[in-house]
Amino acid sequence: MARARKTGNESLRSDFLASIATSYSTPEIAIVSGKGAYLKDADGKTYLDFLSGIATNALGAAHPKIIAAVREQIGKVSHISNLYAHPENIRLASRLREMVGDSESRVFFCNSGAEANEAAIKLSRLTGRKEIIAMRGAFHGRTLGALSITGQQSKRTPFLPLMSGIRFVDFDDLKGLRRAVSRRTAMVIVEPIQGENGVVVPEPGFLQGVAEISRSCGALFAVDAVQTGMGRTGSWFGYEDEGVRPEIITLAKALGGGLPMGAMIATSTAPQFSPGQHGSTFGGNPIVAAAANVVIDVIEKDQLMERAIALHEMLKEAVIELPMIADVRGGGLLIGIVLSEPRAKELAAKLQENGILVNAATDSVIRLAPPLIVSKKEITRFVEVFSRIVQALFKNRSGVRP
Ligand SMILES: Cc1ncc(COP(=O)(O)O)c(C=O)c1O
């Protein structure tokens, strides 16, 4: 009997297995195109994208203004290195400095979140101090330096020994932080919300406390806004509500609107690199910088940060009372739906089957990070499908009702 012809997804899955690094588990589907908050797989099935490349495609897929800017820039020059200046990344850096509110701050461009944090780690060494304090549960990237300040044992253990001089304290534990800092501490680094750890939100006042404690011992206060930044949580960097002023801010993900870009902003109270102390061939690439300028234009013009806050409330209200939902947390359009049972993977798979892409950040937390351009109608559609599936899973569950 002739074998059934493999579908697009199936054949790409087996090619993936044969060729892509085994550091990733094999995906069920291949995504080949998209528009706005919708993506299409290799078999032509459409999905509502509530993950946006893990909090990255702030303007969704194939945004016409990003397409136009990239086309225009690639038609002029794609890459120039950092031996020459370029108007797009200079403009982008000026806008980021304005957002930070410090005209003496300087922006180092790179290509990813891990690289932005590597730059922060190196910068902290210029204080003459060697120790860094990071948070348990934190995620700062997979390169050796960034992994050294990542507070997740399972990711670290196979690669030990990592950098020395790193101390971890519990997230949201100011007393522990106060005990850990000393005159040897170069930098304290913290995420405003721990995204990879399951969208964990600290108590109000935590960032303020971290800022105060860091300053009390002369350490740099660094905020990793890679996942929370660029409007996702309703402000540019995710820390503004607390009224703090970090010395270092790292960005990536949404900054390039789906093109690879990272940034490390060192404010006027941080040290600055001297020429030759740090660099990146592609950092500040003109095409990516042009896309990033569009991301900022659209977020400002369409008031996407204000919308993110309103849509958070709309979604939370609609799902919080459903069975199996223990909590809905996060900020703006970075949302963690906490389940009362460790069934996030099963629920994410069911949602995908039903045309909605989300991610199980942990066994019991579904992470939502839709593009910031998501509409109310699309939120309503998510809520309808999500409610139906949660109710069905709850009905069919084995075990005792809570
Ligand atoms: C807070 C945070 N920092 C750093 C990173 C690493 O970014 P990248 O994967 O671009 O290296 C991530 C990625 O998820 C992140 O969420």
Between strands 359-362 and 356-357, the pairing is unpaired
Q: How far is the CA of 361 from the centre of ligand 1 (A)?
A: 13
Give the model confidence (pLDDT) of 164-178 as tens digits. Answer: 999 999 999 999 999
Give the CA angle between residues 356, 360, 366 to the nearest 5°. 75
Task: Answer whether residue 4 shows pLDDT above 70.
Answer: no
* Mean pLDDT (whole number) for 331-338: 98
Task: Answer whether residue 152 shows pLDDT above 50.
Answer: yes
Q: Are residues 136 and 24 in the same domain?
A: no
Q: Are residues 102 and 161 in the same domain?
A: yes
Catalytic annotation, pick one of 50, 172, 224, 350: 224
pLDDT band at 396 (very low <50, low <70, confident <90, very high): confident
Query: What is the structure's pLDDT at 1?
Result: 52
Query: What is the structure's pLDDT at 5?
Result: 58
Q: Are residues 57 and 92 in the same domain?
A: no
CA distance 143 to 364: 27
Specify the residue with its C-alpha closest to ligand 1, atom 8: 113
Q: How far is the CA of 191 from the centre of ligand 1 (A)?
A: 10
Q: Indicate whether residue 195 lines ligand 1 (CB < 6 A).
A: yes
Query: What is the structure's pLDDT at 395?
Result: 85
> Does residue 72 lie in a domain region?
no
b vs e for 48-69, b when ≥16 Cβ sit within 10 Å of the residue's Cβ? Answer: bbbbbbebbbbbbbebebbeeb
Mutate to test the pocket of ligand 1, among 155, 196, 261 (most ligand atoms within 8 A of CB): 196
Catalytic annotation, pick one of 108, 109, 139, 168: 139
> Does residue 69 lie in a domain region?
no
191 closest CA partner among 177, 180, 202: 202
> Does residue 350 lie in a domain region?
yes
Task: Answer whether residue 398 shows pLDDT above 70.
Answer: no
* Mean pLDDT (whole number) for 192-220: 98
Q: Indicate whether residue 232 lines ligand 1 (CB < 6 A).
A: no
Q: Are residues 292 and 150 in the same domain?
A: yes
Domain residue limits at 262: 77-301
Q: What is the dihedral of CA 50, 313, 310, 374, to 10 degrees?
A: 10
Give the model confidence (pLDDT) of 307-322 as tens digits. Answer: 999 999 999 999 999 9
Report the CATH number at residue 390: 3.90.1150.10
Q: How far is the CA of 139 from the centre of ligand 1 (A)?
A: 7
224 is catalytic: yes
Q: Indicate whether residue 334 lines ligand 1 (CB < 6 A).
A: no
Q: Are residues 246 and 348 in the same domain?
A: no
Q: Indicate whether residue 119 lines ligand 1 (CB < 6 A).
A: no
> Does residue 3 lie in a domain region?
no
Task: Answer whether residue 7 shows pLDDT above 90.
Answer: no
> Does residue 71 lie in a domain region?
no
Q: Are residues 130 and 187 in the same domain?
A: yes
Task: Answer whether residue 124 shows pLDDT above 90.
Answer: yes
Q: How far is the CA of 112 from the centre of ligand 1 (A)?
A: 7
Q: Are residues 258 and 364 in the same domain?
A: no
Residue finishing a domain among 261, 280, 301: 301
Report the CATH number at residue 221: 3.40.640.10
> Does residue 367 lie in a domain region?
yes
Q: Are residues 19 and 124 in the same domain?
A: no
394 is catalytic: no
> Does residue 68 lie in a domain region?
no
Give the model confidence (pLDDT) of 244-256 as tens digits. Answer: 999 999 999 999 9
User: What's the pTM value of the predicted model, to 2 decimals?
Assistant: 0.96
Residue finishing a domain among 271, 301, 331: 301
Query: What is the structure's pLDDT at 49?
Result: 98
Residue finishing a domain among 285, 301, 317: 301
Q: Are residues 99 and 247 in the same domain?
A: yes
Domain count, the chain: 2
Of the chain, the percentage scoring pLDDT greater than 70 comes to 97
Q: Are residues 122 and 190 in the same domain?
A: yes
* Mean pLDDT (whole number) for 371-375: 98
316 is catalytic: no
Q: Indicate whether residue 118 lines ligand 1 (CB < 6 A).
A: no
> Does residue 240 lie in a domain region?
yes
Q: Are residues 81 and 98 in the same domain?
A: yes
Mean pLDDT over each residue of the chain, to the nearest integer: 96
Q: Are residues 149 and 231 in the same domain?
A: yes
pLDDT band at 401 (very low <50, low <70, confident <90, very high): very low
